[in-house]
Amino acid sequence: MLTYTGHPLLDVGAATITVFSGKDRPEELTDADLEAAADYMAANYPRPPLRGYLTTVFPNADGFTQPAYFNDPAKQARYADLVLRAFRDAVPTLDERDPFLDRPVPNVSYNVKDELPAGRAYRQHIPMQMGVGVINFYAEGDAGLPVSGAALLAFQALPLGCAKCGGRPLAVHSDNPAILRHFAGRFLEDNRRAIALQQAADGDKMPEADRSFRTLLIETLLAAREMQARSAARETPFSVTAYHFSNSGQGASLDLYHLPGQVILYLREMLAADYAQTWGRLVGAAWERPKLKRGQPPTDFRPRRNWLYEDLFQVANDPQRYAPRFIRTYFLRRAYRYARQDETDPRGGYSTRDEAALVSWRLLEPFLKRILAMQQARINHIRALGDALAAYVREENDRRFFREFYVLGRYDQLRVALLKANNRHVARGRKPLLTLDGYLSVFEEGEELARADWRLARDLVLIRMIEQLYESGWLGRNEDVIAEADTEANNDSDDTH
């Protein structure tokens, strides 16, 4: 009776009913499963704490959110029958089918007073639709959306499978059915617990999610069994899109947040044993900090935001624009100057010197391949140059070159510094640090024509250098050289904020 259709709101509702019934796929649902889900909604939608929250999903829904019916249980029950149980075989149907499931449209009016055209749904029944009598965007000016009882039930279940963030529902859709079910299931579990607690305490408000919505999205995604897979199938790409919406009559709104397949594949790779420990340290260092009161943190503090997760959404939206800052902040551990005035934002206190142990080429290389789609040949050249320069600095103890490479903000200056180091190295009878092909691949489009991303390339080489110098012990013996460099550097000259 139900199946996934590609419509995000209907699919989230169908997934919610599927989880509620303990099934794996909506095609497995029976009439008894739909009845049980309808009974739960009929018992809880007309009363607090859901009643107030549902005004952002189903405004002016007769038996659920209309104050005129709050003290009329009979009319509330009638409305619940109309919108929650129209899937029953005994309900008469019209000679037309709905556009979602290709099922017959009930010959009933979806309001208590039978004032609406039979089988037609509006914004009080399905979020983000037009109001009663508005003909825009409907075929042949026929106002209202013809919808079957099963589809309408799925739309009605939608808020149970959403998280409440900023007063608005957050619905998460994916082209991977297991991930779709996972998000709906996690939010349903949280909502049912919150409903029970609020009703036991005579509360009248649905609580907010305890994470910001971007952090909640990635944290919930990483907990999915599909993300923990260790088989060849783990390379199958899928995406996730969040719909943060309000259907309120006082101001409908819709914001979309998308995590494409390449970002999800990177996150899944970071869960593997080879990366998990170091990645976990990066994530752990990105959690929001408490505001201190009289120098002491609050005892009940629970962070809402992880800045690495938040910034990853910017990278997902526009990798070429935001990835350089992401790499510089999280992989190179350079302080983000726009965060320095906020004591709750840990990024303002990042330090390459103090956190050199977190500088990891191993985490960076999959990022370059997955998210920036960088060619392996260029990655190899960057790594080789980083190794060669690290060996040079270590063997010659060339603190000046390291500091210059760290801070120089003009390409011509950087090029001169590299050439001088190369000449000094060759003069001592050593193999050249630079090869023409390698240098061009890393820094130039042609002879003396810098790549547009040369600063990013410099940071990537620097990450490899620092990792190698830290592991060799040179950096521990020369910590002050980074302190000197940080003092000289314009830390965020190429930041986007």
Q: Which residue in 104, 102, 83, 75 sits closest to 155, CA to CA?
A: 83
pLDDT tens by residue, 157-183: 999 999 999 999 999 999 999 999 999
What is the per-residue pLDDT for 321?
95
Kindly state the average pLDDT of the residues 142-169.
Answer: 95
Q: Label each residue of 314-354 as H, E or C.
A: HHHHCHHHHHHHHHHHHHCCCCCHHHCCCCCCHHHHCCCCC
Does residue 487 carry a pLDDT above 70? no
What share of the chain in percent tops pLDDT 70?
Answer: 95
What is the per-residue pLDDT for 138?
67
pLDDT tens by residue, 243-301: 999 999 888 999 999 999 999 999 999 999 999 999 999 999 999 999 887 777 777 88
Cα(280)–Cα(272) distance, integer angstroms:
11
Does residue 88 carry a pLDDT above 60? yes
Q: Which residue in 167, 272, 259, 275 sits closest to 220, CA to CA?
A: 259
What is the per-residue pLDDT for 492?
44
Residue 391 to residues 331, 387, 419, 475: CA-CA distances in angstroms?
21, 6, 16, 12
Output the CA angle 484-487-491, nearest 5 degrees: 120
Q: DSSP for 125-187?
A: TSTT-PPTT--TTSGGG--SEE--HHHHHHHHHGGGGSEEETTEEEEEEESSHHHHHHHHHHH
Band of the pLDDT at 340, cuts 50, 70, 90? confident
Q: Is 312:326 a contact under the CB 8 Å cutoff?
A: yes
Q: Which helix (H) or strand (E) holds 104?
A: strand 104-106
